[in-house]
Amino acid sequence: MAKYNQGFKLKVVQEYLNGHLGYLLLAQKYGIPSSTAIKHWVRAYKAFGEEGLQRKTKHEEYPVQFKLDVLNFMKQTGASYQDTAIRFNMNQPSIIATWNSKFLKEGVEGLTNVKGRPSMPKKTKDTPTKVEKAMSREEQLERENELLRLEVAYLKKLKAFRENPDAFLEKHKQRLPLNLKKKDSD
């Protein structure tokens, strides 16, 4: 949904309250995709005045018990997110929707305030230069020899595959366990 500034919202709400146009016609007039946004603005304006149309810039923290009370009220009364927000003097019903989805997925733990990202695990940096320096000259030569053997073996297999891919695949095909074959034939 597009973001609208407070002045625009106030203009639309006042035009609605003056009785000239309804929600749907106002939405069409100002190119708002849905009249639902205007309904929310009018209700917030009636409940909180111009402050109800302001976007919150400060992130407010709510205790877990308050969140549970809000969700419990909504469940017991069947109130909408907007009605519940007005009842608890909140002008952002979307916060309650977020709490509800977290509560349904994670339970009470989902309502606890976790600030920021989880910390990265501490890793010790082993640079290749340090490892090579720690190895003796003989160990370095053995490692290089091993890597060259692996490279030669890889190149041989690649050459064999290019010459006859079907024979290579048939030779290296994995066998299925016997009990799997029995299950498939049943």
pLDDT at 115: 64
Task: Give per-residue pLDDT as tens, 61-81.
Answer: 888 888 888 888 888 888 888
Q: How many residues comprise the chain?
A: 186
pLDDT at 149: 93
Is 54 within 8 Å of 3 (Cβ atoms)?
no
Give burial (CB, 10 Å; 0-12/13-18/19+) of 117.
exposed
Sorting pLDDT into bands at 50, 70 and 90, what band is 170?
A: low
For tokens 């595959």, name the residue. Answer: 161
Question: Which of the pair, 178 or 37, is modelled with greater confidence?
Answer: 37
Question: Which of the pair, 129 or 39, is modelled with greater confidence?
Answer: 39
Question: Which of the pair, 145 or 20, is modelled with greater confidence?
Answer: 145
Our CA angle for 80, 86, 92, nearest 5°, is 80
Query: In this structure, what DSSP letter does residue 115 have?
Result: -
Tell me the H-state helices in the chain: 6-17, 23-30, 36-48, 64-77, 81-87, 93-106, 128-134, 137-163, 165-171, 178-185
pLDDT at 16: 85
Task: Give per-residue pLDDT as tens, 7-39.
Answer: 888 888 888 888 878 888 888 888 888 888 888
Query: In this structure, what DSSP letter does residue 18 have?
Result: T
pLDDT at 2 over 50: no
**Ranges of each domain in the chain:** 1-55, 59-113, 135-173
pLDDT at 19: 82
| The dihedral sign for the CA sequence 44, 48, 52, 56 | negative
Question: Which of the pair, 165 or 29, is modelled with greater confidence?
Answer: 29
Task: Give per-residue pLDDT as tens, 69-122.
Answer: 888 888 888 888 888 888 888 877 888 898 888 888 888 888 886 666 766 777
